[in-house]
Amino acid sequence: MDLGSGLGQFTRLIARTVGKEGHVVGIERDRDQILQAKSLADSSGESELVEFRKGDALELPLNGSEWGTFDVAHARFLLEHVPRPPLVIAQMVRSVRPGGRVFVSDDDHDNFRPWPEPRGFHALWQAYVHSYERLGNDPYVGRRLVSLLRDAGLTSIRNSCVFFGGCAGNERFQAVADNLIGALEGAKDAMLSEEFLDEESFYTGIDGLQQWKAHPSAALWYTVCCAEGTVPNQDN
């Protein structure tokens, strides 16, 4: 099960790994993203490998016989967007069979460094972080993943990280930089409406990032926190 499956690219990767003998369910609350995910699966000839369902992370759309049967429950970049991550983890644990695994990866927004630091970036980034906190969400939830899994009763917990950064000259750097700028532009209204930042400072930060991504030594240091644990047997 892939929770918060979005457009389903990663869900389909999981499905290709599992193969035709398995069954992968992607759960997403946004109807438009589900429609796009299904369209992408159809165009890739993978519609038979994955099932997409509309549902909420706090109330998974599973029928009675499905609870406690999944081998793996996966969520990526989801916990940072919910006010109560332990409730999401509890749903994931409940969906997985004894001996199965829960895998989560998420952001710690303190672990994010563009260099040379773009003009106006610090104020822009702090306003972005505050927009999470204003909604009751945790922009640093990545550092809490192990404790969240431990508190949910999981065992054999492991943690690691994935490098999501890049530097000028790297083939994916422009996409990484554009993704950063797009995320900040998408949060503009939240930042300005709560007066975390004025409009002039917002555009100063965005312009600074545009100049930064063209710098010959531009680098983004950014790692995503990952953790997984095993659902214990009933008699443990």
CATH C-level class of 56-230: alpha beta
What are the beta bridge partners of residue 163? 223
Its sign, for the CA torsion 57, 61, 67, 68, is: negative
Q: How far is CA 204 from CA 110, 124, 125, 196, 201, in A?
A: 21, 9, 12, 14, 5
- Mean of pLDDT values over 176-200: 92
How confident is the prediction for the chain on average, in pLDDT?
94
Q: From CA 21, how far away is CA 55, in angstroms rounded? A: 25
Give the domain ranges of the chain. Answer: 56-230
Place of tokens 């389903």: 8
Q: From CA 118, how far away is CA 220, in angstroms rounded? A: 11
User: Does the structure show a pLDDT above 70 at 194?
Assistant: yes
What are the beta bridge partners of residue 76? 105
**Do the bridges between strand 155-163 and strand 166-167 make them parallel or antiparallel, or are there none, so unpaired?**
unpaired
User: Does the structure show a pLDDT above 90 at 81?
Assistant: yes
pLDDT in tens, 89-103: 999 999 999 999 999
What are the tokens at 188? 């503009």
Helices (H), 29-107: 31-43, 85-95
Dihedral angle, C-alpha 53, 59, 64, 70, nearest 10 °: 70
User: Does the structure show a pLDDT above 80 at 234?
Assistant: no
Q: pLDDT value at position 85?
A: 97
Three-state secondary-structure class, residue 57: coil
Three-state secondary-structure class, residue 16: helix
User: Does the structure show a pLDDT above 80 at 104?
Assistant: yes
Q: From CA 229, how far away is CA 159, in angstroms rounded? A: 9
Place of tokens 């035709």: 20
- Confidence grade of residue 21 (pLDDT, cut at 50, 70, 90): confident
**Do the bridges between strand 96-106 and strand 219-230 make them parallel or antiparallel, or are there none, so unpaired?**
antiparallel
Contact 200, 229 (CB under 8 A): no
Q: pLDDT value at position 48?
A: 85
User: Does the structure show a pLDDT above 90 at 195?
Assistant: no
- Mean of pLDDT values over 43-49: 87
Q: pLDDT value at position 42?
A: 92
Three-state secondary-structure class, residue 149: helix
- Confidence grade of residue 155 (pLDDT, cut at 50, 70, 90): very high
Exposed (0-12), middle (13-18) or buried (19+): which is 90, by Cβ within 10 Å?
middle
- Confidence grade of residue 235 (pLDDT, cut at 50, 70, 90): low
- Mean of pLDDT values over 184-195: 90
Q: pLDDT value at position 231?
A: 97
Q: From CA 1, how far away is CA 72, in angstroms rounded? A: 6
Q: pLDDT > 70: what percent of the chain?
A: 99
What are the tokens at 149? 């899994």
Q: pLDDT value at position 233?
A: 87
